[in-house]
């Protein structure tokens, strides 16, 4: 049997990301880390505003120097 949550999944408006520190969804994500991948595109990790101060801004794809 299909549940209401399956028929009508929660869709959050705007930009939303999971904070890597507190593991909660934030509507104001701040990029704090970028992980390069050898088998595809890299991944950007985000933090909520409270934890972004603690974690500090890390490298982003624009910060990486290509050789």
Residue 5 lies in a domain: no
Counting the structural domains of the chain, the total is 1
Q: Is residue 41 part of a domain?
A: yes
Q: Does residue 55 form part of some domain?
A: yes
How is residue 24 written in tokens? 């909660």
Q: Is residue 3, in this structure, part of any structural domain at all?
A: no
Q: What is the pLDDT along the chain (67 residues), one digit of tens a residue?
A: 778 887 887 776 778 899 999 999 998 999 888 888 888 888 889 999 999 888 876 666 666 655 5
Q: Is residue 2 part of a domain?
A: no
* 6 belongs to a structural domain: no
| pLDDT score recorded for residue 46 | 93
Containing structural domain, residue 20: 13-63
pTM over 0.85: no
Q: How far apart (Å, rounded) are the C-alpha atoms in residues 60 and 57?
A: 9
Tokens of 31: 């990029």
> Does some domain include residue 42?
yes
Place of tokens 């990790």: 45
Question: Considering the domain boundaries, does residue 7 fall inside one?
Answer: no
Nearest to 62 by CA among 34, 30, 41: 34
């Amino acid at each position: 049997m299909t549940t209401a949550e399956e028929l009508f999944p929660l869709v959050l408006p705007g930009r939303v990301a999971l904070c890597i520190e507190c593991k909660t969804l934030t509507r104001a994500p701040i990029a704090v880390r970028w992980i390069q991948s050898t088998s595809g595109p890299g991944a950007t990790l985000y933090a909520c505003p409270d934890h972004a101060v603690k974690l500090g801004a890390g490298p982003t794809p624009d910060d990486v120097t290509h050789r």
